[in-house]
């Protein structure tokens, strides 16, 4: 059937990105267009985007958007129809989307309420004759958009809220209720109230027509206290309207044939050269499997387990390159590993997209020992590049990797190595399995070809979102 969707988020590739959310928001419009759904993306006009909007027409205005005027400008970036909410008093600031030089912006609740308010108004009233059938809100930053539709009138528009990471919940004190244009009657535990205040994510969870998250396993996990981070009861109560849809990756961007040096996905010709280049770049000589980590360095990602498991992996012939930044303690811990094992462990602290491509092209395995992982992207890059994923069995990792076991090896379907529980013993056993598998070249080649045959593009996800929109609008 097809239709129109207004997507509202705080990040969108290639305009602004701090995490996987931006990749999804940026990739969905093209993927959905292929199945008949037209998606426009509403984003705040941060300082970094102001130079872009010079010639863009103003398509919507509001005189008082929490202390100043707001206007929406419409344009196209990299094939995506973008609506930028220009409200300089809220968004024209130094720093990233959420924080400036002095830390988090103290008025973030209002900054993203304004975004959500604008989304709800555009959805309800339409814009220059363009009226969406569905408003699709992402994470806590857009959580109030479904709430505004629910409490101020929906205009017949259906709402979907997608949880990319439950760890961020958008809390504001109770006295903000009126400021955020939310009704007093909704301030109770079954609606907006959350630990004595307001959570904008919870507001979306209780008011959206449908809730999705970015993998089926994470959808189930979120209803349990170990993963729900306080919201498990709210999500379980909405259980009949919750589903998981896996993210895809952009296969034009993550394309072995376009790497430097390129390698062939069928014959793997060129992958050895990529590995050699990588070892030269980091001054490594690794007789066994070369592992990589490309990640935020945080406890969520299980980085703290590396010092316990890497020494045995190195003694067994393996090597490791870590690219990432984050927790200073963890940055120090991986630096220490590199100092302890020169020639076997390399580290680059920082964010470097080009280097991440070289790492996936040249490595043998990618390690993703996350404690929780809503979907995860790097294991999918690994599948596509024949860089076998070694993952903990949580969230989207469990939904995208088939771990080598007697059963999956006999059936010829394994695509990587998996472990659970997420501790040093489990991770260490997984790395021992990597060493053992890597020592059997035929078996390794089979795992690689299985991994590379696993579809990781957006087609399946787009069809699932389209099916959801269609059911909601029917």
Given the DSSP bridges, would you call strands 210-213 and 158-163 parallel, antiparallel or unpaired? parallel
CA distance 366 to 19: 18
376 binds ligand ADP (CB under 6 A): yes
CA-CA-CA-CA dihedral for 47, 51, 53, 55, to nearest 10: 160
Give the one residue of 108, 213, 295, 418 binding ligand ADP; rule: CB under 6 A.
295
Helix (H) or strand (E) holding 41: strand 37-44
302 touches ligand ADP (CB under 6 A): no
Q: What angle do CA 232, 237, 238 make, to 5 degrees?
A: 100
> At closest approach, how far in Å is the CB of 392 from ligand ADP?
13
User: In the bound complex, what is the minimum distance in angstroms from residue 259's beta carbon to ligand ADP?
Assistant: 14
Residue 113 binds to ligand ADP (criterion: CB under 6 A): no
Residue with Cβ nearer ligand ADP (172 or 305): 305
User: Site for ligand ADP (CB under 6 A): how many residues?
Assistant: 16
Q: Interacting stretch for ligand ADP, rule CB under 6 A, among 72-80, 288-296, 413-421, 435-443?
A: 288-296
From the list 140-148, 204-212, 307-315, 318-326, the region that binds ligand ADP by CB under 6 A is: 318-326
Q: Does 56 bind ligand ADP (CB under 6 A)?
A: no
Stretch near ligand ADP under the rule CB under 6 A, chosen from 222-230, 292-300, 336-344, 463-471: 292-300
Give, in degrees to the nearest 5, the angle at Cα 96 between 92 and 97: 75
Helical axes 459-473 vs 20-33, angle rounded to 10°: 70
**What is the four-CA torsion angle of 91, 94, 97, 102, rounded to 10 degrees?**
-120
Least separation, in Å, of the C-beta of 213 and ligand ADP? 12
Does the protein bind ligand ADP through residue 325 (CB under 6 A)?
Answer: yes
* In the complex, least distance from residue 377 CB atom to ligand ADP, rounded to whole angstroms: 4
Residue 328 within binding range of ligand ADP, rule CB under 6 A: no
Which of 377, 390, 417, 452 touches ligand ADP by CB under 6 A?
377
- By the 10 Å C-beta count (0-12 exposed, 13-18 middle, 19+ buried), 300 is classed as middle
Dihedral over alpha carbons 214, 215, 216, 218 (to 10 degrees) = -90
CA distance 7 to 82: 10
96 binds ligand ADP (CB under 6 A): no
User: By CB under 6 A, is residue 378 in contact with ligand ADP?
Assistant: yes
Quote the least distance from Cβ 35 to ligand ADP, whole Å.
Answer: 23
> In this structure, are strands 193-194 and 197-199 parallel, antiparallel, or unpaired?
antiparallel
Structure tokens at 371: 């404690």
**Left, alpha or beta for 45 (phi > 0: left; psi -120 to 50: alpha)?**
beta
The SS3 call for residue 398 is helix
Q: How many CA atoms lie within 13 A of 247 on its CB side?
A: 30
Of residues 3 and 374, the one with the C-beta less far from ligand ADP: 374
- The residue from 3, 20, 256, 416 that contacts ligand ADP (CB under 6 A) is 20
User: Taking the complex as a whole, how short is the minimal distance between the CB of residue 401 and ligand ADP, in angstroms?
Assistant: 13
CB of 227: closest distance to ligand ADP in angstroms?
Answer: 14
Sites of contact with ligand ADP (CB under 6 A): 19-20, 294-296, 323-325, 351-353, 356, 375-378
């Amino acid at each position: 059937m097809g239709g129109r969707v207004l997507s509202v988020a705080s990040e969108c590739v290639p305009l602004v990105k701090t995490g996987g959310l931006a990749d999804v928001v940026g990739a969905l419009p093209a993927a959905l267009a292929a199945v008949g759904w037209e998606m426009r993306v509403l984003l705040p006009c941060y300082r970094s985007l102001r130079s872009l909007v010079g010639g863009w027409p103003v398509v919507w205005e509001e005189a008082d958007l929490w202390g100043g005027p707001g206007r929406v400008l419409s344009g196209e970036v990299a094939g995506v129809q973008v609506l930028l909410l220009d409200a300089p008093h809220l968004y024209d600031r130094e720093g990233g989307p959420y924080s400036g030089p002095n830390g988090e912006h103290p008025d973030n609740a209002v900054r993203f309420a304004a975004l959500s308010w604008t989304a709800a108004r555009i959805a309800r009233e339409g814009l220059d004759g363009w009226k969406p059938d569905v408003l699709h809100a992402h994470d806590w930053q857009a959580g109030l958009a479904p709430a505004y539709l629910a409490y101020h009138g929906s205009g017949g528009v259906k709402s979907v809220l997608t949880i990319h990471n439950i760890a961020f919940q958008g809390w504001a004190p109770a006295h903000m209720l009126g400021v955020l244009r939310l009704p007093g009657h909704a301030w109770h535990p079954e609606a907006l109230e959350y630990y004595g205040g307001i959570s904008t994510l919870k507001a979306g969870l209780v008011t959206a027509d449908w809730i999705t998250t970015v993998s089926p396993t994470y959808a189930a996990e979120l209803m349990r206290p170990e993963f729900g981070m306080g919201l498990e009861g709210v999500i379980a109560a909405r259980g009949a309207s919750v589903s998981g849809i896996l993210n895809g990756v952009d296969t034009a961007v993550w394309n072995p044939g376009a790497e430097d040096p390129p390698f062939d996905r069928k014959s793997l010709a060129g992958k050895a050269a990529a590995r050699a280049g990588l070892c030269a770049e980091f001054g490594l000589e690794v007789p066994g499997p070369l592992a990589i980590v490309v990640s935020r360095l945080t406890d969520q990602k299980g980085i703290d387990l590396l010092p316990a498991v890497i020494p045995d992996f190195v003694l067994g012939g393996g090597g490791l390159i870590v690219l990432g930044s984050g927790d200073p303690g963890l940055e120090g811990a991986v630096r220490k590993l590199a100092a302890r094992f020169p020639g076997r462990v390399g580290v680059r602290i920082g964010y470097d997209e080009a280097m991440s491509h070289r790492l996936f092209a040249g490595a043998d395995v990618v390690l993703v020992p996350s404690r929780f992982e809503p979907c995860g992207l790097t294991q999918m890059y690994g599948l596509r590049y024949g860089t076998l994923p070694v993952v903990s069995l949580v969230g989207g990792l469990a939904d995208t990797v088939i771990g080598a076991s007697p059963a999956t090896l006999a059936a010829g379907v394994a695509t990587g190595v998996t472990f659970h529980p997420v501790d040093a013993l489990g991770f260490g056993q997984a790395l021992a399995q990597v060493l053992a598998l890597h020592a059997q070249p035929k078996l390794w080649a089979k795992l690689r070809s299985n991994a590379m045959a696993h579809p990781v593009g957006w087609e399946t996800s787009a069809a699932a979102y389209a099916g959801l929109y269609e059911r909601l609008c029917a």
